[in-house]
Amino acid sequence: MNPNDGRERRVWRGDWTDGEKALVMEVLNVMPAADLPAMDKVPLIKVDRMEQSPPEQPPPGDEADPVPAPPVRIWHTLAHFSYHISSPRYGVQEKKEFMVSREALAHSSSKTLAAAKRTIAHEIGHVIEMQQYIATARRVHDAVAAHRTLRAKIDEARLATNGEFQVFGPIQQRVLDFDQRIAAESATGSQLHAEYAAAHRAVGLLLQQQADGETVPAASVSAAKAELTTKQQTWQASEARVKGLSEQRTRYFNQTCTPAKQTYEVKLAALQALERGLPGCGDEHVAAQAALQAVYSAADRRTNRLKNFSAMVTTRNIPATLTVYTAASWPDKPGELYAEAYSVFLLEPKALESYSALLYEYFASGAYRNDAG
Spatial distance between the Cα atoms of 233 and 366, rounded to a whole number of angstroms: 102
Spatial distance between the Cα atoms of 37 and 41, rounded to a whole number of angstroms: 9
Helices 334-347 and 304-315, packing angle to 10 deg: 90
pTM over 0.85? The answer is no
Whole-number pLDDT of residue 71: 60
Spatial distance between the Cα atoms of 250 and 256, rounded to a whole number of angstroms: 10
297: β partners: 302
Whether the pLDDT of residue 54 is over 80: the answer is no
The answer to whether residue 205 is domain-embedded is yes
Amino acid, res. 148: R
User: What is the signed CA dihedral for 290, 296, 300, 306, rounded to 10 degrees?
Assistant: 160
Last residue within a domain, chosen from 283, 311, 333: 283
Whole-number pLDDT of residue 76: 55
Which CATH number belongs to the domain containing residue 4 in this structure? 3.30.2010
Spatial distance between the Cα atoms of 104 and 343, rounded to a whole number of angstroms: 15
User: Considering its fold, how many domains does the chain have in total?
Assistant: 3
What one-character DSSP code corresponds to residue 60? P
Spatial distance between the Cα atoms of 232 and 355, rounded to a whole number of angstroms: 118
- Provide the domain limits for residue 369: 300-373
Domain identity same for 53 and 113: yes
Whole-number pLDDT of residue 135: 93
Whole-number pLDDT of residue 108: 80
The answer to whether residue 72 is domain-embedded is yes
CB 21 within 8 Å of CB 45: no
Residues 335-368 have pLDDT tens digits of: 999 999 999 999 999 999 999 999 999 999 999 9
Spatial distance between the Cα atoms of 332 and 104, rounded to a whole number of angstroms: 25
The answer to whether residue 259 is domain-embedded is yes
Spatial distance between the Cα atoms of 118 and 112, rounded to a whole number of angstroms: 10
Domain identity same for 10 and 123: yes
